[in-house]
């Protein structure tokens, strides 16, 4: 969908334009800035990388910052730039992880550090293969949506990686991410399967375990913050994008998922989700 030409690392130059949009974390950290260029856009991840996007040619040119590793640079492109352009061109991408259960996909949406990748890893550890760990791509197929598998690796912070693998990482910093390859202990599913349900992870990391279905327009309101929008000022594209999200929210069940973010609680979370999914399939 989008070709990438990678240039040597460079210190990010000052930009003459002011960003027309930003991604800002709840803590106030700017994660991405969006600038216009004659041929398209420039997406800047501060102190990490720049990507110039030529929409007509469906091509991106990328410059990593000097301390950005090749793995992280590739992750910024695949998990940031590709879904932005994909939605801009009429696709359906969401920020989340997904696993395969009984021949169907279950998706988990949430903020960064919200637990979605750890939850996908816990499912995989329990024998339910993961399909993607940061970006969900959905393709309409009749009355269903096929979830497309992405990259057979899980990128996790050191504490979650240690818990999944049952070992410590020497000299690792708490904010380091480790890329765990799929194997027999963490199986990966590489075939598209229909999406069965979407769970939106709650923001209260101490909340008790609860699964609460969203009714009507509430599902749409919950899905929109987890989509990727390249140009917030392009009203026709925004309407089309919102329409695609609205059709998804009307076709696929969506629930709030709250649970304590403690590793010992994850088996109970998995059991509750499996019970709900299997009950809905066999009422």
pLDDT tens across 60-92, in order?
A: 999 999 999 998 899 999 999 999 999 999 999
pLDDT for 172? 54
Same domain, residue pair 231 and 158: yes
- Please identify which residue in the block is written with the tokens 């992405």: 150
CB 62, CB 5: distance < 8 Å: yes
How many structural domains does the chain have? 2
Domain CATH number, residue 266: 3.40.50.300
User: By CB neighbour count within 10 A (0-12 exposed, 13-18 middle, 19+ buried), where does 156 fall?
Assistant: buried
Using alpha carbons, select from 145, 144, 155, 147 the residue that is nearest to residue 120: 155
Same domain, residue pair 51 and 115: no
Same domain, residue pair 82 and 134: no
**Widest CA span in the chain:** 60
Same domain, residue pair 43 and 163: no
Can you tell me the distance from the alpha carbon of 249 to that of 221, in angstroms, rounded to the nearest whole number?
A: 9
pLDDT for 1? 76
From 88, 121, 140, give the residue that closes a domain: 88
Can you tell me the distance from the alpha carbon of 33 to that of 215, in angstroms, rounded to the nearest whole number?
A: 34
Domain coverage including residue 263:
93-281
From 88, 123, 158, give the residue that closes a domain: 88
Residue-wise pLDDT for 204-222, tens only, equals 999 999 999 998 889 999 9
Residue-wise pLDDT for 218-245, tens only, equals 999 999 999 999 999 999 999 999 999 9
DSSP string, 143-210: TEEEEEP--SEEEEEHHHHHHHHTS--TT--TT-EEEEEP-SSS-B--S-EEEEEEEEEPS-TTPPPE
Same domain, residue pair 122 and 243: yes
Categorize the per-residue pLDDT at 174 as very low, low, confident or very high, splitting at 50, 70 and 90.
Answer: low
Same domain, residue pair 78 and 17: yes
Same domain, residue pair 117 and 241: yes
Q: Mapping DSSP to helix (H, G, I), strand (E, B) and coil, where does residue 212 land? A: strand
């Amino acid at each position: 969908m989008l070709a990438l030409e990678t240039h040597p690392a460079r210190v990010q130059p000052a930009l003459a334009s002011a960003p027309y949009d930003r991604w800002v974390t709840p803590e106030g950290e700017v994660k991405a800035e969006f600038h216009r260029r004659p041929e398209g856009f420039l997406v800047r991840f501060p102190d990490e990388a720049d990507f110039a996007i030529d929409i007509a040619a469906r091509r991106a040119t990328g410059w990593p910052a000097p301390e950005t590793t090749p793995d992280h640079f590739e992750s910024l492109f695949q998990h940031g730039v590709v879904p932005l352009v994909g939605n801009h061109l009429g696709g359906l991408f969401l920020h989340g992880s997904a696993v395969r259960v009984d021949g169907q996909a279950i998706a988990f949406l949430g903020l960064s550090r919200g637990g979605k990748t750890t939850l996908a890893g816990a499912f995989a550890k329990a024998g339910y293969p993961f399909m993607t760990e940061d970006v969900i791509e959905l393709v309409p197929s009749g009355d269903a949506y096929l979830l497309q598998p992405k990259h057979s690796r899980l990128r996790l912070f050191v504490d979650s990686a240690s818990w999944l693998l049952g070992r410590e990482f020497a000299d690792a910093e708490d904010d380091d991410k480790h890329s765990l390859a799929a194997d027999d202990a963490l199986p990966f599913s590489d075939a598209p399967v229909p999406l069965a349900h979407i769970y939106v992870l709650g923001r209260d990391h101490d909340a008790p375990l609860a699964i609460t279905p969203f009714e009507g327009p509430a599902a749409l309101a919950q899905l929109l913050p987890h989509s990727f929008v390249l140009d917030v000022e392009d009203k026709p594209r925004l309407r089309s994008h919102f329409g695609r999200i609205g059709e998804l929210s009307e076709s696929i069940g969506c629930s709030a998922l709250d649970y304590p973010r403690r590793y010992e609680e994850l088996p109970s979370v998995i059991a509750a989700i499996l019970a709900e999914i299997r009950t809905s399939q066999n009422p």
